[in-house]
Structure 1
Amino acid sequence: MQVINSKDELKKIALVGQPNVGKSSLFNRIAKQRIAIVSDQAGTTRDVRKHEVEIFDKKALMLDTGGIDETNDAIFSTVKRKAVETAKEADIILFMVDGKKLPDDKDKELFYELQALGKKLALVVNKIDNDKEKERLWEFFEFGIKDENLFGISVSHNRGTKDLFDWIYNVLPELPESEVIINREILGDDDSEYAEGEYPLEDEIVEEEVDDNNIKVAIIGRVNVGKSSILNALIGQERSVVSPIAGTTIDPVDESFEYKDKNITFVDTAGLRRRGSIEGIEKFALMRTKEMLEKANLALVVLDASSELVDLDEKIAGLVDEYGLGTIIVLNKWDENMDTFQKIQETIRSKFKFLYYAPIIAVSAKTGRSIDKLKDKLIEIYENYSQRVSTSELNRIIEHALIRHALPSPNGAYLRIYYTTQFETKPPRIALIMNKPNLLHFSYKRYLINILREQLNFEGTPIHILTRKKGQREEDEETN
Structure 2
Amino acid sequence: MKKIAIIGLPNVGKSSLFNRIAKQRIAITSDFSGTTRDIKSHQVYITEKPCLLLDTGGLDKSTELFENVHTMSMEAAKVANIIVMVVDGKMRPSDEEKKIFYALQARKKPIALVINKIDNDKEMERAWEFDEFGAEFVFPISVSHNRGVSALLEWIGELLPEVEGATPPPIEAEDESEEDDLDDEDEYWDNEGVVDDEEEPLLEEIKEEVETNQINVAIIGRVNVGKSSLLNALVGKQRAVVSSVAGTTIDPVDESIEYEDKVINFVDTAGLRRRGKIEGIEKFALMRTKEMLERANIALLVLDTSEPFLELDERIAGLVEENHLACIIVLNKWDNPLADFEKITAEVRDRFKFLSYAPLITVSAKSKQRVAKIKDMILSVYANYSQHIPTRQLNEIIKNATIKHQIPSDHSKIVKIYFATQYLTKPPRIALVMNKPRSLHFSYKRYLANKLRENFNLEGSPILLYPRAKGERDNEQENSGAES
The alignment yields a C-alpha RMSD, in angstroms, of 2.1
Q: What pairs up with 1:389-404 in 2 under 5 angstroms?
A: 389-404=389-404
The AA in structure 2 aligned to 1:141 is: D
Contact 2:24 2:172 in 1 (8 A): no
Q: Distance in 1 between matches of 2:102 and 2:389?
A: 61
Whether 1:130 and 2:120 are equivalent positions in the alignment is yes
- What is residue 453 of structure 2 aligned with on the other side? 453
Q: So what's the TM-score if we normalise by structure 1?
A: 0.89
Q: What pairs up with 1:400-411 in 2 under 5 angstroms?
A: 400-411=400-411
The AA in structure 2 aligned to 1:303 is: L
Deviation at 1:416, TM superposition (A): 2.8
SS in 2 for 1:334: coil
Q: Distance in 1 between matches of 2:472 and 2:73?
A: 57
Deviation at 1:179, TM superposition (A): 4.2
Q: Distance in 2 between matches of 1:452 and 1:352?
A: 21
Identity within the alignment, %? 58
Q: 1:472 to 1:75 in 2, by over 3 A?
A: same
Q: 1:479 to 1:195 in 2, by over 3 A?
A: closer
Contact 1:429 1:463 in 2 (8 A): yes
Contact 1:157 1:196 in 2 (8 A): no
- What is residue 92 of structure 2 aligned with on the other side? 102
- What is residue 218 of structure 2 aligned with on the other side? 218
Q: What pairs up with 1:112-127 in 2 under 5 angstroms?
A: 112-127=102-117
Higher relative contact order (CA 8 A, sep 6+): 2
Deviation at 1:32, TM superposition (A): 2.1
Unaligned runs of 5+ in 2: 181-208
Deviation at 1:334, TM superposition (A): 0.6
- What is residue 138 of structure 2 aligned with on the other side? 150
SS in 2 for 1:83: helix
- What is residue 32 of structure 2 aligned with on the other side? 41
The AA in structure 2 aligned to 1:478 is: A
- What is residue 416 of structure 1 aligned with on the other side? 416
The AA in structure 2 aligned to 1:109 is: K
Contact 1:55 1:187 in 2 (8 A): no
The AA in structure 2 aligned to 1:138 is: W
Q: Distance in 2 between matches of 1:300 and 1:181?
A: 34
Deviation at 1:197, TM superposition (A): 7.2
Q: Distance in 2 between matches of 1:155 and 1:102?
A: 19
Q: Distance in 2 between matches of 1:396 and 1:35?
A: 48
Question: How many equivalent pairs are there?
Answer: 451
Q: 1:357 to 1:93 in 2, by over 3 A?
A: same
Q: So what's the TM-score if we normalise by structure 2?
A: 0.89
The AA in structure 2 aligned to 1:54 is: Y
Q: 1:307 to 1:83 in 2, by over 3 A?
A: same
The AA in structure 1 aligned to 2:127 is: L
The AA in structure 2 aligned to 1:334 is: W
Q: What pairs up with 1:350-361 in 2 under 5 angstroms?
A: 350-361=350-361
Contact 2:431 2:465 in 1 (8 A): yes
- What is residue 263 of structure 1 aligned with on the other side? 263
Contact 2:6 2:86 in 1 (8 A): yes
- What is residue 481 of structure 2 aligned with on the other side? 477
Contact 2:50 2:166 in 1 (8 A): no
Deviation at 1:180, TM superposition (A): 4.7
Contact 1:57 1:182 in 2 (8 A): no
Q: Distance in 2 between matches of 1:389 and 1:415?
A: 24
The AA in structure 2 aligned to 1:450 is: N
The AA in structure 1 aligned to 2:234 is: L
Q: 1:345 to 1:197 in 2, by over 3 A?
A: closer
The AA in structure 2 aligned to 1:175 is: V
- What is residue 345 of structure 2 aligned with on the other side? 345
Q: 1:70 to 1:407 in 2, by over 3 A?
A: closer
The AA in structure 2 aligned to 1:34 is: R
Q: Distance in 1 between matches of 2:123 and 2:169?
A: 32
SS in 2 for 1:38: coil
Q: 1:392 to 1:55 in 2, by over 3 A?
A: farther
